[in-house]
Structure 1
């Protein structure tokens, strides 16, 4: 059953979005960054960033706080000017050495983390704010239609402080989309919502973005959110883009240990390179192509440690077992490894705490990198 036909739990947050397929469509824009840099004082907030956001594509800028994600959004919107490089919209320069187009002339929508609704304006006037070039009657008609699409037409005469956080988020989304921007920029739009509500709003927002066909660049620090929303993910670190690709590519083929750690918890075991393989207390693992270091760091995701009830594999002592619903999180001690490793096991097959059990290792959840990368910042 789709989210739009279910009721959200949680008092004021309960409510339906409007009928799907009724949002006004636009022509998605091609947003391009060419070697863009931005400094604040002596700090490079963004350094030599190059990418293209295709028309109608949804891309997530993913990374920890302070890595340059929001700065890129502000550069795209025209709130900041780049110190180097160019920003183009549909191959037309909007920011660069010889040209700067102000925000209001870029046909780019921006949705802030705190929603930034005007407290002195009604909900209807908030949504219609970006339609000042239209006759007021036309603007009000479009704004009412947008409120209907996000399921809040009955709040048209209310003010932002009358609405819950989830409702304010929906109003902010409607306001950003009514001018039909070619590119939609969203800065951590779901971070202020509780987990259960976040999933519902996120799903409906994705549907609405697909309906409008606008290109979307969304900032998040949550890898689960990025994988659930994005056509592609751009992984940021210290002002640079370190990896770009589909969610599956970044999850299954992380470029380095820091990227692997960012997408999930990992068990980390040091090993020695011998005859084209890395030898560890857990066994030998295949080296990636071009590996030329003498020591290696092996990362194993918890779900890669599989319980082997038939007695095959590695024997370990289960020192802790925590039920988590569908899964059980086990801490396991293996011979030759000082610290326990974490295994995520199907709750129906999980071993008991305090006993020994056997485990196999799924190679699709194993990554081998050069050992010095252990000290790299995420």
Structure 2
């Protein structure tokens, strides 16, 4: 039995489709499990084709399950023998393109989903939700008169106005400018949290996922590999795929030492668990861009191979003397030329290692 606070529960979900050649079927989602508590924001994060949008469609009721089950507030809505109609699930949806009606005002767009209410009540409820997303001054505007971020807030208000149990968001920031996405993700999180809305979104952008979600599931090949809080995903990835997918980093070779340290090209690092049985063995050490610090006085040198200006900092690609390339975030007032050698040092607080 689920906890009383569990709003969405997915158990052992599998979904398949007919293959393109018409012979057999292809598995899109495999043995997927996750729980979302009331008021929690979850995110399925993965590259295109990993199955994340299929999961949303199944929760909505648009995709049948091959095996497993979906429950909302402890009520079964999908299984091999149960299928509650989409309009009976109390699930709201925000689409990639926001799907606003261009011929209706902002207020009319929000009121559209409130057909069960009397006409006068519809308008007042819609206006209340416009206030909650800080757009009450745009009630009589049309969608084309709004910015992308404002359109997004209207779409969110329209989805929330009928007070569904769950809001689903399908790549909600993909049509917006890159520099706006993180800020708007934070704004959306504030709105959802202020209204105690439970939500699940899908995205391919980890920075969006971290800006909005309480729990993130990294997906690959139709499976959730790790469902966790963002901090744990970053610092305690369960396998190489998650470690490689989250953050900007590289694996470099290290040799386990007798003092429970690992020796890499840049020095020795303290291992966090007992490796006394692995002395002399080779392991892979994950070095992310924030593990490398720029230090003009350091005798350790690396050559600048590439650099990307990010405003407050540069993302440098640096080549070590062995030819191995690593990443480093460096404050943007340290503007070094391609080919220049700069001093670096290790600044690792938490070491992530993997053995074959």
- Cα deviations by residue, 1:100-146 (Å, 9 ceiling, x for unpaired): 11111111111111112234444333211221111111112211222
Distance in 2 (CA, whole Å) between partners of 1:130 and 1:237 is 35
- Cα deviations by residue, 1:191-244 (Å, 9 ceiling, x for unpaired): 211134334432322221112212111111111111111111111111111112
Distance in 2 (CA, whole Å) between partners of 1:153 and 1:320 is 47
1:307–1:198 distance in 2 versus 1, CA, 3 Å: closer
Task: Decide whether the 8 Å contact of 2:14 with 2:30 is kept in 1.
Answer: yes
Out of 345, 348, 357, the position equivalent to 2:330 is 345
**Is 1:118 matched with 2:101?**
yes
1:311–1:43 distance in 2 versus 1, CA, 3 Å: same
Number of the residue aligned with 2:292: 305
1:31–1:332 distance in 2 versus 1, CA, 3 Å: closer
**Is 1:34 matched with 2:18?**
no
Task: Decide whether the 8 Å contact of 1:29 with 1:215 is kept in 2.
Answer: no
- Cα deviations by residue, 1:309-344 (Å, 9 ceiling, x for unpaired): 4446x3444566666443344443333x22443322
C-alpha deviation, 1:172, in angstroms: 1.0
Task: Decide whether the 8 Å contact of 2:182 with 2:207 is kept in 1.
Answer: no
**Is 1:282 matched with 2:259?**
no
Number of the residue aligned with 1:269: 252
Out of 191, 213, 226, the position equivalent to 1:230 is 213
Greater Cα shift, 347-356 or 30-39: 347-356
C-alpha deviation, 1:285, in angstroms: 4.0
C-alpha deviation, 1:249, in angstroms: 0.9
**Is 1:198 matched with 2:181?**
yes
Q: Secondary structure at the match of 1:359?
A: strand
Q: Which has the higher relative contact order, 1 or 2, with Cα contacts under 8 A spaced 6 or more apart?
A: 1
Number of the residue aligned with 1:89: 72
Q: Cα RMSD over matched residues?
A: 2.9
Task: Decide whether the 8 Å contact of 1:323 with 1:347 is kept in 2.
Answer: yes
TM-score where L is the length of structure 1: 0.80
Distance in 2 (CA, whole Å) between partners of 1:354 and 1:243 is 39
> How do residues 1-378 of structure 1 correspond to structure 2 at under 5 angstroms?
30-41=7-18, 42-273=25-256, 275=258, 278-286=262-270, 289=273, 294-311=281-298, 314-318=300-304, 324-335=310-321, 337-347=322-332, 356-364=341-349, 366-371=351-356
TM-score where L is the length of structure 2: 0.85
Distance in 1 (CA, whole Å) between partners of 2:31 and 2:124 is 44
Distance in 2 (CA, whole Å) between partners of 1:303 and 1:193 is 27
Task: Decide whether the 8 Å contact of 1:28 with 1:183 is kept in 2.
Answer: no
Between the two proteins, the alignment pairs up a number of residues equal to 343
1:273–1:115 distance in 2 versus 1, CA, 3 Å: same
